[in-house]
Structure 1
Amino acid sequence: MQLRASWSRYTLYTLVTAIGALFAAMSPGGVMLAGAAPTAGRTGNAAVSGGTPAVPETAAVAGASPDASAATIPPAPGTSERTVTFAQLGQTNGLRLRGTEGSGDVNFGVRLDQSVASALLRLRYSYSPALIPDLSQLKVYLNEELIATLPFNKQDGGKNLLREIPLDPRMLSGFNRVRLVLIGHYTMECEDPMHSSLWADISPQSEIVTSTQPLTLRNDLSMLPVPFFDRHDNRDQSIPFVFGSQPSLAVVHAAGVVATWAGAIGDYRRTRFPVSVGTLPSKHAIAFVTNETMLPGLDMPKVDGPTLRMVVNPGDPSLKLLVIQGRDAKDLETAALALVSGRAALSGDATRIAALEPLPPRPAYDAPRWVRTDRPVKLGELVENPADLQASGYMPWPIRIQLNLPADLLTWQNTGVPMDLKYRYTPPVKPDDSSMSVSINDQFVRAYRLRSAGASTDKSHMLVELLSDGTMADRREVRIPAFQVASRNSLSFQFAMEPHKEGMCSQTITNAARSAIDADSTIDFSGLPHYAEMPNLSFFAGSGFPFTKYADLSQTAVVMSKTPDKAELETVFSTLGQFGRSTGVYADRFEVLDTTQTERFKDRDLLVVGGKDAAELLTTWGKSLPLVIDQTRRVMQSQPQGYRGDGAAGSALAASRVGPARMDAQSQGALAALVGFESPVTSSRSVVAINASSDAGLLSVVDAVDTQRDAIHGDLAVVNGDRTASYRLGNTYFVGDVSWWTRIRYHLSSHPILVGLVALLAAFAIALKCFGWLQRRAARRLEK
């Protein structure tokens, strides 16, 4: 009887669906996308609301779909087209939609200086062949508005499909969200909402294509950092630096301060600073000019003090120039510091800086993007949005927290990093295998079972049921193994809850399960001292250490040629931008020196950027360098000696120690290297040199630090195209400060044979002393 009733309902549903499809086909415009114009050429049941027919991906690429060719139409004059994949938008593994109402989001942005002429969602996906077509579909939302419903056909189940869905430009803003919701059913009878056949996978190669036109913005300093940086644009940054003439070292310092600021606000984006001298690029740019070095074609009055201006690029009215202007280089440094530190007070098209007092020097290890190591830190301090600590569903995405640490933390023989973990969750209705697991850098740390309501086996803590939201609170003391901690860490919490159903036809399970990590949970790195073996280029590649030990770079000197060329300047600015990205704050206290100012190298960590003059300086230091590169000459040498490589966070040195005792070769080929060694001027100070045989080689090292970070170790990283090989050939030294007892134990631990010999000698000496004492005591007794 029940089967007959279900079949009747199914027959009635099919009849109603067919009648609806007939009326839709008879209507003039058919079924249309909300807010979009009708699309010609839609046919049959394969047509999506406002989209194109679903076809296998290979066929779509071959042009089998007539509507798919619309996306290949060249953009109209004056417009530019941008294609970005879901992987580039942060969904590197795509979206995995599971259950009867699985959903996933993808966020994308539109720059403030651009207007969207047209937009398209090119969706690549597949779905379970077990889904019932008449009851299952994929809903597409744009900014919480339903824009399309994609039907599931039986014959396309399990195939890679391609849909192209127009996006209404009127619905787009600076920040946009595409949400995909799976409505899935696999049976007409009572079903399990968590059944394994309820799935749809969205490919990370799905794309959002936008055609934009430039907008002319007003000249207003209050808009900064727009248009040079737009937080809605997730692409890498390119901010041209323009100079009226060959910049002096003081002007380079002013531009370097701006570079650290741009790198800091760029966050995860790579930032490059192409250099122009005397010419204006066809992009938004930042210009550095004095009264004596004005830019040709840029008509501006002379100034009587540090000045910031926002002006129109004479070559293109839609482009802006931020002009940092002054009477001399000192004024430029003042104006640059006003830009990076007092941006909130800037407005209008021009601002003259009457007075500026810089902040005092920053203490060590206080970079805003680094976890504090002098006190316990609340997890709420490590996220931008409190919602990042919450999750919903029975198998939600892990809650992830980024932990950036100083690279020189000594983790040797540490019992672990303590974490006072507080978390809340919807309690299971009865005891089961629901759990919460803790991992760091995708390495398992600990798992805890989630208790049912009212259950408790832990007498040391009280479980409080929060009546307001129906969740249960719990608290654990976790110790993260110190050897699992590196400079860059991802701390994750994975909740896994088991749904409960008393029978096949019980009430439907929803995503009512909630879980959260309390913001006042703490993690404490204050027990780890600062002590590390150097040189270690993985520290430099990972966080800019040792230069970024002081976020304002107060103990750093940049060494370059007296008259640096464009490639050398871009290398310096890009490296300083990487420092700002690591610390999250601008730097203004570094020095810029030329290779002849060796007397000022004392008590400084040196960043040497290799032009011709820098190569000559490195040659004079060649006895302690693993590699020296000139335009035609390469000198490579090693100084074998034991080293540890297990003492500090992230210092597992996967660098080869195989190398020649010495090799002197002549070559015309391109070669570049990143070299680390102890400063010949001051002991326990570091030198990192970017050395190359050509200008392009210098920039390839900067790119390798971003894209091949994991391949950079030891004291020498040779960059040849897209390949990087690392070596350890030179002497090592130690930086940091620990107690004398810890220092002795640490260094002796790497020489177990020596420790054994010392122990034997000590035992022998004690035995001799005891033997002598016993002999004297026996002699006294005999005398009596």
Structure 2
Amino acid sequence: TAPAGAAPAAAASGGGVSRERLTLKDLRIKNAVRLQGTRGEISIPFGVRKNQVVTDASITLQLAWSPAMLGDLSQLVVLVNGEVVQTVPLRPQDSGGQVLTLPINPALFLPGDNQLNLRLIGHYARDCEDPFNSVLWANVSNTRSWLDLTTQALPNVPDLSHLPGPFFDRALNTTLKMPFVFAGQPHKGELEASAAMAGWLGSMASYRGFSFQPLFGQMPMGNAIAFLKSGQSLPGLNMTVSGPSAAVVRNPRDSYGTVLVIMGRDDGELRLAAAAVSSGRGVFGGARMNFDGARVPSYPRYGAPRWITTDHAVKLGEIMEPYALQGMGLPPGPLTARFRVAPDLFFWPRQGGTLNLIYRYPLAKWMDRKASRLDISINSQFLKTLPLAGSWWSDWFGSKGANSFDGSASLTLPRYNLFGQNDLVFDYNLILADKQKCTGTLPDNVRVAVDPASTIDLSHAYHALEMPDLATFAGAGYPFTIRPDLGETTVLMSRNPTPASVQAFLNLMGRFGDSTGIAPTGVTVADGVDPDRLSSQDILVIGSSAIAGAGQVFANAPLHWDGHGLKVAEKSPLQYVSALFSDRGLTNEADVEPMIHAARGFAGIVSFQSPYASDRTVVALVADDAADLPPLVDGMADSKINAQIQGDLSVATGDGMSSFAIGSTYWVGSLPIWMKVAFWFSQRPLLMAFGTLILALGLTGPAYAYFRRQARLRLGAKDE
């Protein structure tokens, strides 16, 4: 199987021929396919590289179906790009499970975007039936069903105008795997340049996943990205470095592969060339370009293009294609609006942001208007149900036939349900009004929509967060992505990082690019500590556990290196006292020590306050074995593991992560003084009650003394 994102390996099959097996799970179908109703159907997009032609193909399906369906009337139709591949009869005697392998005419495949459809035509009665009866179903496995494709690569003329192709093809939805080639041991300049390229590819491949494997001094098969400075060389590449430049050449090991070479005479020029390519500065063309004088854009704090601004309300049509907010058929399927926000939004005393929704639905005799509804949820958490009943004036003055109605509502998007990446789901539940036997027909061409003019308003939010909070790092790369180009980030690594450490670094840069939509062209890589410079930087540490003993970086860390291994730092009495007044208590060392000294070695993420600035953060990815670092980063792409990363320490346990809150907390961001004080007291009700009592005593004491004095004076005058 050729790596997704790389050209087929000619040596493996010969003459540019590649054989690839893609399961439905590889095609982003996360769960088994369940087709329901008389016309259940799923459409699965997939891609064929534009420089390839399919010469042979087949599809294997592992399926089962309801034994109650009539075998002579029920069938599964397999289509590719709208053309029928085969119709499979669904007989009751085979319903327990069947494996089918169907050949596909290669002429049906197109370069670029393609569509695979599985359509269920099911019947359980010969006269009339309920189209939504529960006996009408068929299941198709997503892990044991696959496409087998044999492709022939076409000659490719290297040209920079084709970027980002062939290194990234938008039509593909399999994981992007791209080798990064270094002439030797990479250091500061090569790592900073490769960070920009990894973030560039990660920002484009966010929907399909990605992995970047570093190679030192050797060329792979297929496509690759290479980095060269003056005096360096790679096998088969005869390149003269004459300044900040980029070139595309044929892979010397694979005539059907292409290598993008980033070049510079020194670290600065190498970084400039990578930044120019990854930020798209200039018009690209030809096999080689020079970037002398290129100006790389910089971005303000919270300027990530993929983050919804807090300056004004944002229309849904501005963050996604309007056609994605329309549904058709029964059921019309949930409509999903995906958006990203800065993870440090602070709304208190408000509950969260506001969704000003305009939604459209049909009004017709076939629909039960009292039972039909629109359910809205965010990140799998239910928000509200809205009615689909029209209004009194539409009943009296509207059309007597089919009609449509626009409803509107204002909903709160709770702060506790807003993360770096969010899914806002609109699920229309349209109920048939008359389900009596043999009456009516299934309505066709039913359409619903969410108006693109609907807005998400976060303009009342401040930017502030109690740290450390690894959930924001795992979800959105916070706090490093506050500057989308990572202009306020320093990455500390060993002087000679291992390939595994470099891979973890590259994959992490890809995640940052995915979060912001911007290549991290401003990141700084260092192998030593400069306290003056680090006072204005957030620090990311990647390496073996021994790096935790280097310098003063880990002075505030909940873990430290004692020369033999990692130990949990002892808490000071002040930390215990402050924990009593905090809404996040401290974890006992006895609960953490067994996780640190696991039999297979430690691998985890730790976060703490920077020793060089009170408003800066350190996040460290450390492992006893550097080979455990890439899985640590890759695990963040798994929604289940990502949700387990919290607090200030997350430890890999084999089947996920275990998280703890060990150290003290601190605030980053900007809030008015009065709000800081009010929020601090609001999180500590006992202390607030005690403070109220003290305030009451403070006010009533002087008043009591004053009136007592007045009474004495009055009584004294009466005696006289």
Same fold at TM > 0.5: yes
Q: Whole-Å Cα distance in 2 between the matches of residues 272 and 632 of structure 1?
A: 33
Tell me the SS of whatever aligns to 1:345.
Answer: coil
Question: Paired residue for 2:73?
Answer: 135
- What TM-score do the two structures reach when normalised by structure 1? 0.82
Question: Paired residue for 1:203?
Answer: 141
Q: Whole-Å Cα distance in 2 between the matches of residues 230 and 343 of structure 1?
A: 20
1:746 aligns with 2:684: no
Q: Whole-Å Cα distance in 2 between the matches of residues 566 and 526 of structure 1?
A: 44
1:685 aligns with 2:623: no
Shift of 1:434: 0.8
Question: Paired residue for 1:120?
Answer: 58
Give the conservation status (yes or no) of the 8 Å contact 1:249–1:593. yes
Deviations 1:458-494 (A, max 9, x none): xxxxx99799994211111222333333333211111
Question: Paired residue for 1:227?
Answer: 166
Deviations 1:327-372 (A, max 9, x none): 322221221122112267111211122421122x312222222222
1:387 aligns with 2:323: yes
Aligned counterpart in structure 2 of residue 334 of structure 1, from 252, 258, 272: 272
Shift of 1:391: 0.9
Question: Paired residue for 2:7?
Answer: none
Question: Paired residue for 2:480?
Answer: 547
**Compared with structure 1, are the counterparts of its residues 692 and 200 closer, same or farther at alpha carbon in structure 2 (3 Å cutoff)?**
closer
Aligned counterpart in structure 2 of residue 658 of structure 1, from 588, 597, 600: 588
1:109 aligns with 2:47: yes
Runs (4+) of structure 1 exceeding 6 A deviation are 463-469, 644-647, 661-668
Q: Give the letter aligned to residue 419 of structure 1.
A: L
Shift of 1:377: 1.4
Q: Whole-Å Cα distance in 1 between the matches of residues 175 and 581 of structure 2?
A: 34
1:410 aligns with 2:346: yes
Give the conservation status (yes or no) of the 8 Å contact 1:313–1:319. yes
Q: Whole-Å Cα distance in 1 between the matches of residues 568 and 189 of structure 2?
A: 34
Give the conservation status (yes or no) of the 8 Å contact 1:638–1:660. no
Runs of 5+ unmatched residues, structure 2? 1-11
Shift of 1:453: 7.4
**Compared with structure 1, are the counterparts of its residues 415 and 725 closer, same or farther at alpha carbon in structure 2 (3 Å cutoff)?**
closer
Q: Whole-Å Cα distance in 2 between the matches of residues 468 and 239 of structure 1?
A: 57
**Compared with structure 1, are the counterparts of its residues 631 and 309 closer, same or farther at alpha carbon in structure 2 (3 Å cutoff)?**
farther
Q: Whole-Å Cα distance in 2 between the matches of residues 437 and 168 of structure 1?
A: 42
1:278 aligns with 2:217: yes
Structure showing greater Rg: 1
Give the conservation status (yes or no) of the 8 Å contact 1:466–1:473. no
Aligned counterpart in structure 1 of residue 315 of structure 2, from 370, 375, 378: 378
Shift of 1:437: 1.2
Give the conservation status (yes or no) of the 8 Å contact 1:308–1:325. yes
Question: Paired residue for 2:306?
Answer: 369
- What TM-score do the two structures reach when normalised by structure 2? 0.89
Deviations 1:352-401 (A, max 9, x none): 22421122x31222222222222211111222x32211112232221111
Deviations 1:96-132 (A, max 9, x none): 3333222221111122343323221112222332322
**Compared with structure 1, are the counterparts of its residues 503 and 751 closer, same or farther at alpha carbon in structure 2 (3 Å cutoff)?**
closer
Give the conservation status (yes or no) of the 8 Å contact 2:57–2:104. yes
Q: Give the letter aligned to residue 745 of structure 1.
A: A
Give the conservation status (yes or no) of the 8 Å contact 1:428–1:498. no
Q: Give the letter aligned to residue 633 of structure 1.
A: G
Deviations 1:298-332 (A, max 9, x none): 123x2432221111111221111111123322221
Give the conservation status (yes or no) of the 8 Å contact 2:124–2:135. yes
Correspondence 1:502-541 to 2 at 5 A: 504-541=437-474
**Compared with structure 1, are the counterparts of its residues 415 and 189 closer, same or farther at alpha carbon in structure 2 (3 Å cutoff)?**
same
Q: Whole-Å Cα distance in 1 between the matches of residues 318 and 274 of structure 2?
A: 30
Question: Paired residue for 1:178?
Answer: 116
Give the conservation status (yes or no) of the 8 Å contact 2:557–2:609. no
Aligned counterpart in structure 2 of residue 187 of structure 1, from 99, 106, 125: 125
**Compared with structure 1, are the counterparts of its residues 469 and 171 closer, same or farther at alpha carbon in structure 2 (3 Å cutoff)?**
farther
Give the conservation status (yes or no) of the 8 Å contact 1:673–1:717. yes
Correspondence 1:150-549 to 2 at 5 A: 150-157=88-95, 159-173=96-110, 174-205=112-143, 206-300=145-239, 302-342=240-280, 345-359=283-297, 361-383=298-320, 385-429=321-365, 431-452=369-390, 470-501=403-434, 504-549=437-482
Q: Give the letter aligned to residue 487 of structure 1.
A: G
**Compared with structure 1, are the counterparts of its residues 82 and 267 closer, same or farther at alpha carbon in structure 2 (3 Å cutoff)?**
same
Q: Give the letter aligned to residue 382 of structure 1.
A: I
Q: Give the letter aligned to residue 558 of structure 2.
A: P
- CA RMSD of superposed structures (Å): 3.0
1:774 aligns with 2:713: no
Correspondence 1:27-46 to 2 at 5 A: none
Runs of 5+ unmatched residues, structure 1? 1-74, 458-462, 648-652
Q: Whole-Å Cα distance in 2 between the matches of residues 581 and 251 of structure 1?
A: 21
Identity %: 34
Shift of 1:517: 0.4
Q: Whole-Å Cα distance in 2 between the matches of residues 577 and 685 of structure 1?
A: 23
Which structure is higher in RCO with an 8 Å CA cutoff and minimum separation 6? 2
**Compared with structure 1, are the counterparts of its residues 746 and 666 closer, same or farther at alpha carbon in structure 2 (3 Å cutoff)?**
closer
Shift of 1:495: 0.7
Tell me the SS of whatever aligns to 1:240.
Answer: strand
